[in-house]
Structure 1
Amino acid sequence: MTTQAPEYRLLAKLEAAFDRLVERAEALVDTWRLSNAESWTFETAPADAAWLHRALLDFWYQDGQDGRSTRSYIGLFAANEAVMEKLGAVNAAKKAFAEQLAEIRREVPGLIPEIKAVLPFRHPALHAHLHGVGLARLHLKQCWRAIPAAPAEVSRIRLAWYTSGRSIKRLSVRDAERMLLALDSDAAHVRIQLRTLAGLPDSEPLAQVQPQAPLMRANLFFREPLDNGHSRQAMNVALPLFVPTANGQLPDINQPPRHPPEKRTRAKRSDARLEDTPLLPSLRIYRYRDR
């Protein structure tokens, strides 16, 4: 009997984790359907089990999609104890999938392209439906991102767009050099940026800027204070939010604007101190103005 190569054992474990994720997500949808509970979505499509199935099992790239971005499905679903139990099982499966994927990234990162191409075939119904519209490649982050859940019964929910603009990560010159060298160091544009970086003192701080898309945030107001004494909580809701309830009804909900504000309403942060033009365009790294 031949011994299975370590990379294929890891792949087999990931395949099993993906199977459990799909099966548990489908069980969650079925359990919610049978509960006859209330639901609401931000979309014009009805907030039914078919919409929920599409939201929870959208694990795919769309043509031209940025690999760093994920699609949002904004909705609220009243959940009894059975639904919340199934939801916990789905999120546990997502965590196990993420852990298995992290091990593969550490041990055999070359398997990642194969994973994205092969895993969809394990569920022919999903693959056959999506392949015809250019969605046959797996989006790993959309597999493992957790489904949000309110920790207790809620009296009202207020939804609002949150526009943070961009995130800023402070870096050293050596950090930036390592990041450039991780790119194709033989490429002309990378060599030019390495020469630019070599002209800076090692002590100069730099900033890497990552644009962030607007997101929907739910402000939850609980019927009773939580164990920590808090009576409200805010959470991002890129996936449907499940709200525990004993009567199958949703709490009071506001109707947020259809589109996020074009401009930020909050005061500018430290990004105003950055130069207008990036020092290292390939990495979106800037110098500070007040050097």
Structure 2
Amino acid sequence: MLDQIAERRWVLPLAGILLLWAALVMLTERLSIYSLTGVATSASFLLFPALGQMLVITTGRGNIDLSIPSTVTLSAYISVVMSGGTDAGLPAATGAVLGTALAIGLVNAGLVVLMRIPAMIATLATGYILASLTLVVNAMVTRMGTPPLLAWLATAKIGGFPLIFLIVLALTILIGLMLGFSSHGRKLLALGQSVEAARLTGIRTGRIVCSTFVTSALLSALTGMLLSGYAAGAFLEMGTPYLLQSVGAVVLGGTLIAGGSATAMGTLFGAVLLVMIVTTLQIAGLPPGIQDILQGVVIIAVLAVAGPGGRMR
């Protein structure tokens, strides 16, 4: 059974979701699939950057993207400023956000691949720079407002279920298919398992690593745009929760922290599980500080069970 679980690591977060759902039902005295609507919405915003984080972590060598929170916040502010709160300004805002995200991803990749700076240090430094730029953009905001179309994408429901969750579910499936069936996915997994072996087989490792940082930045920027639509504006520290939670969703979902193996569907389940943990703690009345501590404890426990190599013992 342990071997089967090791091969299908997404089973554990799925089991955790079912257990926590049962706990929430007992706490709220309601049993309905629609009681998970709020959880699905929050998990959707988390899943975009988590999928990007998953790809970066899969490359191995301790690669991680710590610039995600700053990218999310800056993108939200750019959306507000460039769109002017109208649908007519949405194309310009989208172009500005995606262009900024592309630049962020390329800078991170350049620091890691070309200058050989450890990803943790490189992306943390980039994040500080982006945080400073956010303060500059914040000073330019005279009024808050987001395009109605963007707000609709972030809040609309189809059959009572969040549209944004359906969008991110489709994205998860596409990334899962890429990892499992495309040559790019196989090269990415091979790189994470052994850089030298990947190079000897002719894989251009630098391009693969670059693609993951760019994808991470683009998905984080998309989160920022959608969050601005959901919150009808932007605020400082908007992206802060996604620093720990993006890593947590990846780890809880079963992606190996050592690299070389990833599960997109597991990351989805991990994001939902993490949001449900937070929701359960909030319903239990625990203060935010204790909630953060318990989230960290859960992530550390999962890493401890996985062992030094990142695999289940």
- TM-score range relative to shorter protein: under 0.3
Report the structure number with the largest CA radius of gyration. Answer: 1
TM superposition score normalised by structure 2: 0.24
The structure with the greater share of residues assigned to strand is 1
TM superposition score normalised by structure 1: 0.26
Q: Of the two structures, which has the highest relative contact order with CA contacts closer than 8 Å and spacing of 6 or more? A: 2
The structure with the greater share of residues assigned to helix is 2
